Structure 1
Amino acid sequence: MKFNTLNIIVFIGLLAIVGVLSMQLVMLNQAYTFEKKEVGEKIHFALQDVVNKIYRDNNNELPAETPIKKVSEDYYVVNVNDVFEAEILEVYLQNEFQKVKLDMDYEYAIYDCGSDEMMYGEYITAAGKARTDKVKCEKCFTKRAGLVYYFAVRFPQLRYSYISSLQQYWIYTGVLFLVLIIYVYSVFLMLKQKKYTELQKDFINNMTHEFKTPLSSILIASNYAAKQQAIENDPKLNKYLKIIIEQSNKLNQHIERILSVAKTESSLVSLEKKEFDLVERLELVRENASIKFENAVITLKSAKPEYFIKADEFHFYNIAYNIVENAVKYSAGKPEITITINEPGKGLAISFSDNGPGIAPEHIDYVFDRFYRVPRENKTEVEGFGIGLFYVKKICELHGWKISIHNNESSGITITIHIPKSSIV
């Protein structure tokens, strides 16, 4: 994926999430406004009925203008323009608030003409009971100029009621905010990972040039020098030159393995799948390994003379040779490696068994990890970086194959590559 395309996708994703979040905030605001309006109407209707009953008790006609004055969101003043009793007012308030299902706390106060003060009434809970343990706000009730017979009602929990009634909207909004945060964080991680991938690509390219080029020059010069008459006639110089060539080839192999692992890690490996004979390719692995390790006995067993699969021939050879080479290096005495091809149900299974000491149970689950080397006694001469089997597993994963390892009953281990039916021709 190109970086420009990635930017577009990230921007569209961010725009979509912000758009959904904006719509949710608009819906939340609308729901909040609707809730305020609905509660306000309930309060107004309930107080209007209270006024109607008081006027009816006093045999007075209702005024043309509404006697209810909304001072603030949670504070109302009601002018009844005639005398009324506090006990009757409390009963009327409770009944009317219950009728409109206004389930919230409230408190009221009545203006006293004699003292010219607001006389605090009672704090009534949502259940309709007077509470003395609640925090009363007697100073919250203020006088209104020009009024004589009136009372005031205050709803101390009104704002909290809005929040609790819109709980579902708040949860949805919170989830969307969380999604937005996770998305932004994921984008930053992705861009950071992309930066590391670019650095890794540069490292691979630089390493290929800076290491492979001079090493190739050393090998060419060493091989040329080894053929010179003066070198061939001098046993000591000839010996030293062979050491240079041998160690240079070994270093070249290590560099090739590191580059292969780096490419598989950064997904730079492109598999060139084609049809080839599995038996023939494993036979080549057996022959080459037998030439390199003369003391090893390597056997190939196959139920059929040929099996054709579709895979990357180059990488398949490398992973098979890697497994055989590891088996030889870690086998005690005379290495005996058996390569077996069988058909366990659907697909194929290629097993590599050796007669080595095996691997301790606490280490066997980690042998395919990068740079992991199994601790072994008296095996300090075995060289490597612990990336061979890691490379094997990566190539198998790229092909969609599975790989497993287990200790044999007698001695040694068996590594099995499971090739699915989809890879068989």
Structure 2
Amino acid sequence: MKFNKLNIIIVLGLVAIIGILVAQLLWTKQAYNLEEKKFSQKAHIALLEVAKKLYEGTNHELPSENPVQKVSNDYYIVNIDNDFEPEILEFYLKSEFEKANINTDFEYAMYNCHSDEMVYGNYVSLDKTKKQSSVYFPKHKNLVYYFAIRFPNEATYLFSSLKFWFVLSFALIVILLVYVYSILTILQQKKYSELQRDFINNMTHEFKTPLSSILIASNYLMKQDKIKQDEKLEKYTEIIINQSNKLNSHIEKILNIAKSDNAPMDLDKQEIEVVPILKDVIENIRLKHENIVANIEAEKDFTIAADPFHFTNIVYNLIDNSIKYCELKPEINIRLTEENRQIKLEFADNGIGIPSKKLPEIFDKFYRIPSPKSNEVNGFGLGLYYVKKICNLHHWKIKAANNPENGITITILIPIS
């Protein structure tokens, strides 16, 4: 695949989203570690306070060494060189954990020196309906009076405190998947578009060869005396030539559009006078449509920087459309004015008009307004698409609006350099 601008944008976008996602996952992991450390510190402080309270009112003093030891992530032991009751221990544990804002289930056990084993104390749950199950507490050597605390739901508790981080990570994953799906869809559509363009190019090229032969043969026939002497044969030959020329113009238009879509169109901008070009186009169209009425209203002789060939085509397309989509005697009023440092070029006709909802779509490629008149008129829906494309290349603005009575007005705004 050709490594063009679109591919570069796709790769950069994909790398950026993956980078953001990786960074988010690393931040989430860091946040979890910090939350785990914070929980461990709060549990440590709360258990130390419990140990101090168990020493109060006794003849023993709290040892200088820290009595709290963390055995694993959710398991702590507290060494108390003093005898204590389970009810008092549970009361202190509940009150200190509540002060430390440790809102998760816990269970505790105490060492019984008479039986030389850990005696299970109780499972304290915030949810009274939750099923409680005892867990084995191992015995620790060199300790006589001590108790152990386990937080069975510590991991769940920590995850619940990081809901925002996980929701954000999930959202980024969804965005990445949507982006990948969108890119695959765009690439698929691009492939189909290229296949369609190649098919149109090949088809039109194949049409041009037999069409050229038809035109050569028809023009040769027109010069024959027998054809000139027979009025019907001459008329039929003229029909063949006219229809062949019309078909040839359609093929040329399709080829030009396909070429401009495949590669940037080069403009040969020159300083040109607008009114003479308008008059030349009108004179050429009158050779084909003698009954048209075309008026030019210009405040002055305007000069613009434009490609003469393409600008002439724009004018021809707009006037030709006004004639084709008119059920009365065609009347086109062309106005040239200056407003807000812009040349305003308006083409107003008395045609059948366009439904307001369809106006934004008339410049789309291959689009034709569904109407009985459209079915009568030959075309591919490329004329206004070509006009809009040339205007965009010149950095002009173009818009369409319905007239109060009938017909439409196409307006081109050309900045004054």
With the shorter chain as reference, the TM-score category is 0.7 to 0.9
Displacement, 1:80?
A: 3.5
CA distance, structure 2, for counterparts of residue 69 and residue 3 of structure 1: 61
2:215 aligns to what? 219
Q: Which amino acid aligns with 2:402?
A: N
1:41 aligns to what? 41
1:251 aligns to what? 247
1:312 aligns to what? 307
1:177 aligns to what? 173
Q: Secondary structure at the match of 1:409?
A: coil
1:384 aligns to what? 379
Q: Which amino acid aligns with 2:102?
A: L
Displacement, 1:232?
A: 3.0
Q: Secondary structure at the match of 1:383?
A: coil
Q: Secondary structure at the match of 1:298?
A: strand
1:293 aligns to what? 289
Q: Superposition pairs for residues 94-113 of structure 1, below 5 Å?
A: 94-98=94-98, 100-110=100-110
Q: Which amino acid aligns with 2:122?
A: G
Aligned: 1:164 with 2:164: no
Deviations 1:194-244 (A, max 9, x none): 434433442353234212233223212321232133433444443332222
In structure 2, do the counterparts of structure 1 residues 363 and 73 end up closer, same or farther at CA, with 3 Å as the change threshold?
A: closer
CA distance, structure 1, for counterparts of residue 61 and residue 370 of structure 2: 100
2:319 aligns to what? 324
Aligned: 1:86 with 2:103: no
CA distance, structure 2, for counterparts of residue 171 and residue 347 of structure 1: 52
TM-score, with length taken from structure 2: 0.83
In structure 2, do the counterparts of structure 1 residues 173 and 253 end up closer, same or farther at CA, with 3 Å as the change threshold?
A: same
For structure 1, the 5+ residue unaligned runs are 126-130
Q: Secondary structure at the match of 2:134?
A: helix
In structure 2, do the counterparts of structure 1 residues 60 and 154 end up closer, same or farther at CA, with 3 Å as the change threshold?
A: same
1:121 aligns to what? 122
In structure 2, do the counterparts of structure 1 residues 402 and 5 end up closer, same or farther at CA, with 3 Å as the change threshold?
A: closer
1:303 aligns to what? 299
In structure 2, do the counterparts of structure 1 residues 367 and 21 end up closer, same or farther at CA, with 3 Å as the change threshold?
A: closer
Q: Are the aligned partners of 1:319 and 1:392 in contact in 2 as well (CA < 8 Å)? A: yes
Q: Are the aligned partners of 1:111 and 1:143 in contact in 2 as well (CA < 8 Å)? A: no
CA distance, structure 1, for counterparts of residue 278 and residue 9 of structure 2: 45
Q: Percent of counterpart pairs with the same letter?
A: 48
RMSD between superposed Cα atoms in Å = 3.5
Displacement, 1:251?
A: 0.9
Aligned: 1:337 with 2:298: no
Displacement, 1:309?
A: 0.9
TM-score, with length taken from structure 1: 0.82
CA distance, structure 2, for counterparts of residue 210 and residue 327 of structure 1: 31
Q: Are the aligned partners of 1:301 and 1:339 in contact in 2 as well (CA < 8 Å)? A: yes
CA distance, structure 2, for counterparts of residue 360 and residue 81 of structure 1: 93
Q: Which amino acid aligns with 1:223?
A: N
In structure 2, do the counterparts of structure 1 residues 302 and 195 end up closer, same or farther at CA, with 3 Å as the change threshold?
A: same
CA distance, structure 1, for counterparts of residue 403 and residue 133 of structure 2: 87
2:389 aligns to what? 394
CA distance, structure 2, for counterparts of residue 252 and residue 244 of structure 1: 12
Aligned: 1:273 with 2:269: yes
Q: Which amino acid aligns with 1:80?
A: I
Q: Which amino acid aligns with 1:252?
A: N
CA distance, structure 2, for counterparts of residue 20 and residue 381 of structure 1: 56
For structure 2, the 5+ residue unaligned runs are none
CA distance, structure 1, for counterparts of residue 359 and residue 42 of structure 2: 73
Match of residue 144, structure 1, among 139, 142, 150 = 139
CA distance, structure 2, for counterparts of residue 410 and residue 6 of structure 1: 46
